[in-house]
Amino acid sequence: MIPQEIIRQKRNGGTLSEEDIQSFIAALVAGQLSEGQIGAFAMAVWFKGMSRDEVVALTLAMARSGDTLSWADIDRPIADKHSTGGVGDNVSLMLAPIAAACGLAVPMISGRGLGHTGGTLDKLEAIPGYTITPDATVFRKVVKDVGCAIIGQTGSLAPADGKLYAVRDVTATVDSIPLITASILSKKLAAGLQTLVLDVKVGTGAFMAEPDDAEMLARALVDVANSAGVRTSALITDMNQPLADAAGNAVEIRNCLDFLAGKKKNTRLEAAVLAFAAEMLAKSGVVSSLQDGEAKAVDALSTGKAAESFARMVSRLGGPSDLLEAPDKYLVEAPLTKPVPAPRSGWLSGCDVREIGMTVVDLGGGRRHPADRIDHRVGISDILPLGTRVEKGDPIALVHASSADSADAAVAALAKHYRIDEHQPATPAVIYERIVALSAS
């Protein structure tokens, strides 16, 4: 069927066949479609939606639009985790080495920051020498020898996604659940995964601000991924405050090193990391229950095996071999720091997480335009969790800035984006809900 007929059929609410979808994606990758045709297709899907079978077909067609990875020579379960993005969300940095230390192989293909959300690749680039785009041979060898490697997506992996997303971004069709689902999962399927765990954020700092919308997306992702042959579950997690007590790039790497050294116990971040580790291990069959998975992850941390896996990954991908022992030697600090004083006494009861993320961007720690260069030194650390009692003048957080003017602006912005009340608030749990395939227990 010619492209305009496929567009017309979907525009009129029809169901596209697997062959129709495959031919449209093939034409997209071959450069045979105009931007108008791509945009019209995306808009038709936005308005009319897609059935599960259509989304599965679209996901598979996009996954197979370029190279696909095979891990047949690795005698470990192949697993990964994906987050829909947040502020202070550095879970992947600790989760991959924990999973590797527990017997999984984690070929984690991550992305850069988008809007107010931080990007794993931007954080890793704060480590001198770390190569986020190694050649395929190095990537495969690191995964095989270490158990994990966190790198960036190459242009040959699911190229249809990049071409379609570029048009979605300028045609107001980004927020289509079928297109979001195919975009996320096509890259994961192309990576040759056997199991996948998804972190779907909800709250003021999340793409999905409302729990019902987050659940709808999580269920779509889990349903389609399992239908496409990847054992998948999802956790809906809270993003009504930064997850870690740091937001930025180098400051989040320091946060990661502290976590691996056992300095972040009994935090929201620890709860999230252990929950995802347990999910990955149970889903992959390494353990028989989530409780056993969490215990195994705790052991990997307490014995130092997870820290060792992280150190080996960093070294094998070009970073310093002694980063864990001498972080100050490699992680460059911002020229100045300035505390954010509480404007009055009371309980930290709420915050606008999106605006906190944008404050990091304004400091230079993120991008407003794709070509912007990131200052890895800047960010926010020592962020107090909601539910903390403060007195007027107590530091809520610490700003790391490149200049006095940017520091002052960030301090003023952060003070404005926090709410302080007289009464202690009830704060939500980190994990809202676990989503599994309908056929799974």
- Whether residue 403 lies in the annotated active site: no
Q: What percent of the chain has pLDDT over 90?
A: 82
Q: Give me the mean pLDDT over the 85-90 stretch.
A: 90
Q: How far apart are CA 291 and CA 300, in angstroms?
A: 14
Q: Where do the domains of the chain lie, and which CATH numbers do they carry? A: 3-49 (1.20.970.10), 79-326+431-435 (3.40.1030.10), 335-421 (3.90.1170.30)
Yes or no: say if 98 and 300 are a contact pair by the CB < 8 Å rule.
yes
Q: Which of 76, 188, 201, 219 is catalytic?
A: 188
Give the tokens for residue 47: 């308005």
- Whether residue 423 lies in the annotated active site: no
Burial 287-312 (b: 16+ CB within 10 A, else e): beebeebbebbbebbeeebbbbbbbb
Q: How far apart are CA 97 and CA 102, in angstroms?
A: 9
**Predicted local confidence at residue 222, as pLDDT:** 96
- Of 33-37, 112-116, 404-408, minimum mean pLDDT range: 112-116
Work out the pLDDT band at 221, boundaries 50, 70, 90: very high
- Whether residue 75 lies in the annotated active site: no
| Helices and strands per DSSP (H, E), number in the chain | 16, 13
Q: For 347-393, how does the pLDDT look when each residue is reduced to its tens digit (9 = 90+)? A: 999 999 999 999 999 999 987 776 778 899 999 999 999 999 999 99
Amino acid code (one letter) for 183: S
Query: What is the pTM for the complete model shown?
Result: 0.91
Q: Which of 10, 140, 168, 312 is catalytic?
A: 168
Task: Report DSSP state, residue 361.
Answer: I
| Closest to 351 measured CA to CA, from 237, 200, 201, 204 | 204
Q: Which of 76, 82, 140, 296 is catalytic?
A: 82
Yes or no: say if 113 and 122 are a contact pair by the CB < 8 Å rule.
yes
Q: For 409-434, how does the pLDDT look when each residue is reduced to its tens digit (9 = 90+)? A: 999 999 999 999 999 999 889 999 99
- Whether residue 338 lies in the annotated active site: no
Q: Which of 59, 65, 80, 283 is catalytic?
A: 80
440 pLDDT more than 70:
no
113 pLDDT more than 70:
no
Q: Which of 65, 120, 284, 349 is catalytic?
A: 120
CA 167 to chain centre: 22
Yes or no: say if 78 and 99 are a contact pair by the CB < 8 Å rule.
no
- Whether residue 82 lies in the annotated active site: yes
- Whether residue 183 lies in the annotated active site: yes
CA 368 to chain centre: 19
Distances (CA, A) of 329 to 169, 246, 288, 377: 40, 20, 42, 14
Q: Which of 65, 176, 181, 183 is catalytic?
A: 183
Q: For 247-287, how does the pLDDT look when each residue is reduced to its tens digit (9 = 90+)? A: 999 999 999 999 999 999 999 999 999 999 999 999 999 99
**Predicted local confidence at residue 217, as pLDDT:** 93
Work out the pLDDT band at 441, boundaries 50, 70, 90: very low
- Whether residue 80 lies in the annotated active site: yes
Cα angle 366, 255, 76 (rounded to 5 degrees) comes to 100
Top pLDDT among 275 and 437 is at: 275
- Whether residue 81 lies in the annotated active site: yes
CA 273 to chain centre: 13
Q: Which of 10, 81, 140, 254 is catalytic?
A: 81
Q: Which of 112, 187, 201, 377 is catalytic?
A: 187
Q: How far apart are CA 229 and CA 63, in angstroms?
A: 12
Q: How far apart are CA 194 and CA 232, in angstroms?
A: 9
Q: Are strands 379-381 and 247-248 parallel, antiparallel or unpaired?
A: antiparallel
**Predicted local confidence at residue 370, as pLDDT:** 65
Helix%, strand%, coil% for the chain, nearest 5: 45, 15, 40
402 pLDDT more than 90:
yes
Q: For 118-169, how does the pLDDT look when each residue is reduced to its tens digit (9 = 90+)? A: 688 899 999 999 999 998 899 999 999 999 999 987 778 889 988 998 888 7
Yes or no: say if 41 and 10 are a contact pair by the CB < 8 Å rule.
yes
Burial 373-384 (b: 16+ CB within 10 A, else e): ebbbbbbbbbbb
- Whether residue 187 lies in the annotated active site: yes
Q: Which of 65, 83, 117, 204 is catalytic?
A: 83
**Predicted local confidence at residue 175, as pLDDT:** 81
Residue 73: Cβ-neighbour burial (10 angstroms; 0-12, 13-18, 19+): exposed
Yes or no: say if 239 and 204 are a contact pair by the CB < 8 Å rule.
yes
